Amino acid sequence: MTIAVKESKILYGNFDKAKSGIMKGSGGIVEQGPGLQQRIITPAKEMPPEIPHVEFNQLPLSVLIRNLTVYAAKELSQYMKTNVRSTQDASTRKMEFLRLIIFLRNQFLRLYVLVKWCKTIRQNNFHTMIDLLNWFRGTNIIVNNCLLALKDMSTSMAGAKLPNPDLITALEVLMLGRPDLPTHGFLLTGDENGQQANKIPAKLILKRFRDLNTCLSVKISLMDLPAEMHTYSIKDGRITFTVFPEFEISLSTIDRESPLFFVDVKFLFNENKFPLNTTKIALLVNDILYKSPTPLLSLYQFLHRYVLTLQLYMIHVELQDIETNGKYSGGNLAHHYDPKKNIISLRYWLQSKMNSKCKALIGVEKTSQSIILQWHLPDTKEEGKTTKYNNLLGNIEAILDEITFNHARIIMSELLDTGLFEGDDNKNDTSDTLFFHVPVICVATAPVQLKINTISGIFYFKNPSALLLSYAKQLNQTSDLDDVVNILERLRMDKIVHILRNMFEKTGWICEDVVKLNKPILYDKHKDKKRILTRDLFIRIKDWPANWFFILNLVASGATCIVEKLIGKVQSVKGTWEVKYLDQGNLQVSKLESITYQNVMHMQKTIIQKILNHMIIDSLNELKISKVICQGEASQKLPAYVQTNTAGASNVSIIAIGLESFLQGSKALSDTLESTIFLKMDYEQNEVKLFGKFKKDTQMIRYQCDDLLINFIDKRGLAFHMTEDFTSLNHVVQYLTKFRQKLMQLVVLTDVTEKLHNNFRSEHFQIVKLRPNEISFRYLKNSKDDQDCTIQIVTNETKIEKLQVQLSPLNPQNIIQKYLECDKYDPHFIFNYLHFTSKLFSAVKSIESITNTNTMTITLHLHTLAAYQLSYHDRLTGGQIALCIDLRNSPSRAGSMYHLYFAQEDYSASKNPMYPAILQVINNVFMLNNNTKRKVPSVIRLGTGVACPLGDIEPLLEEIHSILIRS
Amino acid sequence: MDQQDLNKLQTNLSDAEIRLASIIESFIELGVSVYDFPGTQESTQGMVTNLKRNVERIKLLNQHANDPDSQLRNMNIPLEVLQYIEDGRNPDVYTREFVEAIRRSNQYQRAKMHALKKLRDSLAEKIGEEFPDLVPQVQGIIERANGSRDK
């Protein structure tokens, strides 16, 4: 200890930082006092043991100095030994030596620092500090062990099963390992078994009881009693209040001055289902009785509330039982118990979509101070109306049954009000079934029973089919009664569709499920009306043209259903179905009940005609052709030429078509044909006919052209028809195109023949052959050929591209053929030219035929289309004459003229044996002052030549020819 | 260790310090002369003389330090201090940290012991309350376990 004291003095003496701290030996307490004052608490007798000295990890300074000096001397001598005779160069050795010196110097420097440090430890007591720290460490371990032992103790105490949770028993168990206290099992209840009970004589006890009874009677009569507690009995020294059906409480007292105190309580409603914490109640009750100025009133208030809370809790427990084990188990019922607000909110029919309306509230009613169940009537018409139920405890399930049953009845009656249902007339009023009439065939309906499961609130059909099941599912997914009605209407509609489909499919129709429009055809018409359902049914027959349907528009409202029949074309465009054509005009409306199998069968036969009509109309629409269907009265107004052909035919339809639009706007035929043409479809004979009529008698009518298919109805009349047999209904449009083509050809032919007639105005003109693109005709006076000329008509789609004129080889005008081929002349010009030169050629031909003998040869040469030359060649004499015939426009006269003259060389060549003939011609024909009688009066004498109009070329040529031949 | 020894220790330490200073000084001189060594006989001789003198000084330091009368052998040096110097740190810092560590340990230990004492006292009081018969025994235990009766 002295050492310790000394050392502590040393500590304080040397180190200001260690300002306080006193230590004693092991087991002593080091106390920290203020300043340098120290207090040592030590028993006088004993000295604490010394702090154990530690020498570990320490070396004396002398040893350190010795080690370093020896080491330095050794290093130096070693260096000297090894390096003096080293072969290394001087500078390396020098550097190594220098390194050694510096190293040693550093080592001594460290030693120097150490010595300096040692000088600071003036008392040479650093080892004491080491000992002290070491001792602290050891002590720390001991204290820690102590704490750990305490902790272990507390852990092991936790496992000890104590008879009483108090310190007495705890220590007893700790010390003895078992409870064995004299107070063990000692009860403070004062039972008669105790010895002390026997010490009081029974008489005294009875007397005390009687005194107490009197005392209580007096006391109660002086106290304020709540109305509910007027029923009481005083017996055995206690007063018992019975508040039925809530509780029974017994109180007692000691004397008149003392307050009442609690003896016993019994609740009259719970049949002791719950263990009561009587001790706690006793405490609370005693507290009230002691403190309250009106103890019994307060007591009643307290117990009443307690009872209400308890009852509510019991209801909560009961509800829990019903939810988990009762018939509402399986998630049909849920409740939330709020113990703070004393409210249970109840929800039933949780699986039904209507559950938002299925609510009830259990709580304490303020006015009656009793627990009630408040059920908000789900009836939408009487909002805010509620029903209250009392006496809930034990009756919750029955009340729930009543609520759900009433709720179901309310829904039923609301549904019944919609007029969609019929109630169950046969049974009494409590029936929970609704009868919904669904058609089974067109004319009859059958009732379907709709019910509500009162436990789950779910709609279900009795004896359901798959369809009914699916609809029951839909019904249960809505909360709105209007939706329910809608769903049921849809169900009815589905049934109707089913029936109709069945009927049509059985009679050979095909119902197309693929076709689905975005909205029903009649949607727009009915969309504003409530409770009207529309549905389209697309049906067709196998060999109908594609995309054409017989469309049944079903319009249902309530129990009535109307079927509108339409014909339409529905096409899928880029995946969506669109109505391409709809027969809006001929809407047939009939009731569902009127649809019978006979109807359907009959329709099958008659409808094809309509379909085709519509199809043609649709095709015509596509081609933008104006048209009218001639039916009924309109067919009576048809022209006679059409009527005579159609009279009596049943499967015939006639469509009047605007000619101009039919020819795609071409007006070419407007002058030729009547503006309306008629298309007749004969489905019996599979024949399509086009009727038309010429406006006036044209040249065209005279010629029958077989290829044009045009048949004139009578030979004088102007009406005609074209006929085609059709094989497939899909190709009707093709025939229209063909007809149009033929009509276009007719236009062309009419045009060309008119032109020909205009140009060849002579009795010799005659059309020999007429084909759609070829016309052969004769126009020459003495033609012996079949045809003098053939015209090939080259057309493109809309107009004549060109006319190719081909002259017959025997035609004398054939020599101009090459000119016609070479140059592009206007057909009008060609026809005109051919016509007006025909006389020249016929004259030449006649001359040739007469004159061409062995001695004289006459040939016609053609220089241009306007310059001819007639050559005479006398083989006997070798004489030659060239008579030039030029075609010139006369400036003074209208039209062209022939100019005849001899070639220049004929004048000069006087040696020409035929020169006299030339002279004679000049004198007789060419010269003006000639007295000879003129054979051709219109001739103009020009001296060197002669000119004449086109028509007079023949006599003039004959005159000149005769002169030339004579000479 | 009495005061006389302590005084002698201080004297020895001062002596050793002076010796060490001269040794370090002569090592520096030696280093300079080696660094500037011109290689002449004369300079070699001078350097050897210098070296010899230095070795002599080292020898004397050793002799004095290990002299039986020297107190230096009673001066125990913790190896941690050597390590501090070796690492180039100030050994006084070591001293200060050591003292602080002791102070911390002391406070910690004191608080723990104090707490245990309180536990002991309150346990004794409770036992005394519950078992008045056991009071003498409890007091005996308290006395044995440091006998602080001043409550």
Q: Which two tokens mark A382?
A: 């009487």
Q: Using omega within 30 degrees of 0 as the cis cutoff, is the peptide bond preceding A245 cis?
A: yes
Which of B30, B102, B113 is facing A129, going by the closest CB pair? B102
Q: Which residue has the higher pLDDT, A566 or A112?
A: A112
d(CA A386, CA A57): 95
Contact assignment for B106 to A143 by CB distance below 8 Å: no
Is residue B92 within 8 angstroms of chain A, CB to CB? Answer: yes
Contact assignment for A133 to B62 by CB distance below 8 Å: no
What average pLDDT does this structure show over A28-34? 40
Q: Does position B26 have pLDDT exceeding 80, yes or no?
A: yes
d(CA A286, CA A262): 6
* Residues of B with Cβ-Cβ distance to A97 under 8 angstroms: 34
Which of A29, A60, A70 is facing B75, going by the closest CB pair? A60
DSSP string, A232-266: EEEETTEEEEEETTTEEEEEE-SSSSSPPEEEEEE
* Residues of B with Cβ-Cβ distance to A168 under 8 angstroms: 130
Contact assignment for A29 to B20 by CB distance below 8 Å: no
* Residues of B with Cβ-Cβ distance to A73 under 8 angstroms: 55, 58-59
pLDDT of residue A102: 93
Question: End of a domain among A623, A642, A668?
Answer: A623
Which of A117, A122, A167 is facing B92, going by the closest CB pair? A117
| In a shared domain, residues A253 and A364 | no
CA distance B139 to chain A (A): 15
SS (H, E, C) A98-146: HHHHHHHHHHHHHHHHHHHHHHHCCCCCHHHHHHHHHHHHHHHHHHHHH
| In a shared domain, residues A254 and A342 | no
d(CA A237, CA A100): 114
Residue in chain A closest to B21 (alpha carbons) equals A112
Selection from A321, A315, A304, A307 nearest residue A338 by Cα? A315
| In a shared domain, residues A612 and A550 | yes
Q: Which two tokens mark A161?
A: 């099963």
| In a shared domain, residues A498 and A611 | yes
Q: Are A913 and A922 in contact (CB under 8 A)?
A: no
A146-171 burial, b for 16+ CB within 10 Å, e for fewer? eeeeeeeeeeeeeeeeeeeeeeebbb
In chain A, how many domains are there? 5
Which of A43, A60, A137 is facing B76, going by the closest CB pair? A60
Q: Which two tokens mark A355?
A: 């559950």
Contacts of B140 (CB under 8 A, 6+ apart): none
Residue in chain B closest to A25 (alpha carbons) equals B146
Complete edge-to-edge strand list for the sheet that includes strand A333-338? A333-338, A343-348, A359-364, A371-376, A386-389
Q: What confidence category does residue A934 fall into, taking pLDDT thresholds of 50, 70 and 90?
A: low
pTM of the shown model: 0.44
| In a shared domain, residues A482 and A601 | yes
Q: Which two tokens mark A538?
A: 């697309």
| In a shared domain, residues A482 and A618 | yes
Interface test with B, best of A64, A65, A146, A164 (most B CBs within 10 A): A65
Residues 127-146 on B with a CB inside 8 Å of A are 127, 130-131, 145-146
| In a shared domain, residues A613 and A494 | yes
Contact assignment for A70 to B62 by CB distance below 8 Å: yes
* Residues of A with Cβ-Cβ distance to B92 under 8 angstroms: 117, 120
What average pLDDT does this structure show over A53-64? 88
pLDDT of residue A634: 62
**Residue A721 neighbours by CB distance under 10 Å:** 20
| In a shared domain, residues A347 and A268 | no
| Residues A175-186 pLDDT 10s | 766 555 555 444
* Residues of A with Cβ-Cβ distance to B24 under 8 angstroms: 105, 108-109, 112
Query: Where is B9: in which H helix or E strand?
Result: helix B3-35
What average pLDDT does this structure show over A822-833? 74
C-alpha atoms less than 13 angstroms from C-alpha of A933 in its C-beta half-sphere: 1
pLDDT of residue A716: 60
What average pLDDT does this structure show over A701-713? 63
| In a shared domain, residues A881 and A911 | yes
Which range of residues forms the domain containing residue A90?
61-120
* Residues of A with Cβ-Cβ distance to B78 under 8 angstroms: 57-58, 126-127, 130
Question: A92-96, A285-289, A387-391, A771-775: which range is least confident on average?
Answer: A771-775
| In a shared domain, residues A498 and A617 | yes
The rounded percent of chain A whose pLDDT value lies above 70 is 75
CA distance B124 to chain A (A): 12
| In a shared domain, residues A574 and A485 | yes
Mean pLDDT, all residues of chain B: 87
What average pLDDT does this structure show over A733-744? 74
pLDDT of residue B100: 94
Burial class (CB in 10 A: 0-12, 13-18, 19+), A350: middle
d(CA A903, CA A894): 27
Contact assignment for B77 to A27 by CB distance below 8 Å: no
A237: left (phi over 0), alpha (psi -120 to 50) or beta: left
**Residue A826 neighbours by CB distance under 10 Å:** 10
> Is A598 contained in some domain?
yes
| Residues A198-252 pLDDT 10s | 566 778 888 888 888 888 888 888 888 888 888 899 888 888 998 888 888 888 8
> Is A38 contained in some domain?
no
> Is A145 contained in some domain?
no
Q: Which two tokens mark A847?
A: 């001359």
What is the distance, to the nearest Å, from the Cα of residue A595 to the centroid of all Cα atoms in its chain?
A: 37
Any idea how long chain B is? 151
* Residues of A with Cβ-Cβ distance to B4 under 8 angstroms: none
Selection from A7, A49, A22 nearest residue B109 by Cα? A22
Is residue B89 within 8 angstroms of chain A, CB to CB? Answer: no
Is residue B60 within 8 angstroms of chain A, CB to CB? Answer: no
**Residue A842 neighbours by CB distance under 10 Å:** 19
d(CA A259, CA B135): 42
Q: Does position A109 have pLDDT exceeding 80, yes or no?
A: yes
SS3 label, residue A807: strand
* Residues of B with Cβ-Cβ distance to A57 under 8 angstroms: 78-80
| Residues A63-92 pLDDT 10s | 999 999 999 999 989 888 887 777 778 788
> Is A628 contained in some domain?
no
Which of A55, A108, A127 is facing B24, going by the closest CB pair? A108
Question: End of a domain among A598, A623, A648?
Answer: A623
Q: Does position A938 have pLDDT exceeding 90, yes or no?
A: no
d(CA A670, CA A659): 8
Q: Does position A26 have pLDDT exceeding 60, yes or no?
A: no
| Residues A333-392 pLDDT 10s | 888 988 888 888 888 888 777 767 788 888 888 888 888 888 877 665 555 677 888 877
Contact assignment for A127 to B76 by CB distance below 8 Å: yes
Residue A127 CA: distances (Å) to CA of A54, A60, A539, A688, A932: 8, 11, 117, 137, 187
| In a shared domain, residues A573 and A514 | yes
Q: Are A15 and A39 in contact (CB under 8 A)?
A: no
What one-letter code names the amino acid at A44? A
Which of B75, B80, B147 is facing A118, going by the closest CB pair? B75
d(CA A772, CA A268): 120
d(CA A710, CA A396): 98
Which of B14, B78, B126 is facing A58, going by the closest CB pair? B78
SS (H, E, C) A641-656: HHHHHHCCCCCEEEEE
Complete edge-to-edge strand list for the sheet that includes strand A247-252? A232-235, A238-243, A247-252, A261-267
SS3 label, residue A715: coil
> Is A955 contained in some domain?
yes
Angle between helices A597-622 and A481-506 (to 10 degrees): 90
pLDDT of residue A893: 62
